[in-house]
Amino acid sequence: MLRQVADGVLIHESEFIQSNAVVVQGRAGVLLIDPGIQGDEMAALANDLSDSGQPVVAGFSTHPHWDHLLWHAQLGEAPRYGTARCAASLRDLLWDAGWKARVAEGLPPEIAEQIPLDLFGLITGLPAGTARIPWDGPQVRIIEHQAHAPGHAALLIEERGVLVAGDMLSDALIPMLDLNAAEPIEDYLAALRLFEGVAGDVDVLVPGHGSVGGAGQVRGRIDQDRAYVHALRDAAVPDDPRVGPSAKPGWEWVRDVHNGQAQRLARRSERDGTPG
Ligand SMILES: [Zn+2]
């Protein structure tokens, strides 16, 4: 179930689009990042942790998208953190009494029944500018940026050389831009520059979806994401193995994601005359 990727850092890969939950061992229990998707998976993870005497003492959601905001009662009642912007965007969603139906509409129909929403999105926002997750374990640096979703945070577990990238730097999924933002292209490129600044400290890269990468893959994935974003900006056809016939089996739908965001960007630039 849990696979060690570095000293004291383990991952659990969900069936749904290779979603990675990350467990970081601390002194009195674990930090659980983006816990998983289906109820039985999270319950099994909770059992594994409690069997090994490791309660969840803190949670973290990398960004306010449904597949990073789930929780299971058996994981307990530890504080679940996110950035202030992440929490604010959830407040906007959850204030409405009809939020559950709205979230449910966006779930993949084939597994929607297995996705528990009772504890969805109960995120405590850390004050803006918080540098590290407040918990009793290895220092976890928060690298906040505005690519992909409001208040997205990547996490750098400095002593272990692990970068938890959230929904970026995937070998399977192309950069998905936050097309509701004012400057989605520039936001994305700025986030990639932040990653470049820490790349030398990373031995293990864990994307939110896709395969774990080693030290030798960090710069390659940054370059690949940047090239994709440049192609999108320039309305060019991306030369990207994740789009098209060379996509990983089961990931052919990524081409539709690409086409969808290329069309939305084209409409935007028609509307206001500026790219992105
Ligand atoms: Zn996402």
pLDDT digits (tens, 9 = 90+) for 209-243: 999 999 999 999 999 999 999 999 999 999 999 99
- Distance (angstroms) between ligand 1 centre and the Cα of 136 equals 27
CA of 63 to the centre of ligand 1 (A): 7
pTM for this model (two decimals): 0.96
- Give residue 96's pLDDT: 92
DSSP E strands: which ranges in the chain?
Answer: 3-6, 9-13, 20-25, 30-33, 56-60, 80-83, 124-126, 140-145, 152-157, 162-166, 204-207, 213-214
pLDDT band at 38 (very low <50, low <70, confident <90, very high): very high
* Residues above pLDDT 70, as percent of the chain: 99
Measure 207 CA to ligand 1 centroid, in angstroms: 11
| Burial class of residue 84 (count of CB atoms within 10 Å of its CB; 0-12, 13-18, 19+) | middle
What does the pLDDT read at residue 51?
Answer: 94
Give me the mean pLDDT over the 72-76 stretch.
Answer: 97
Q: Tell me, what's the pLDDT at 274?
A: 59
Q: Please tell me what DSSP assigns to residue 19.
A: B
Q: Which residues surround ligand 1, an ion (CB under 5 A)?
A: 65, 167
Q: pLDDT at position 248, please? A: 84
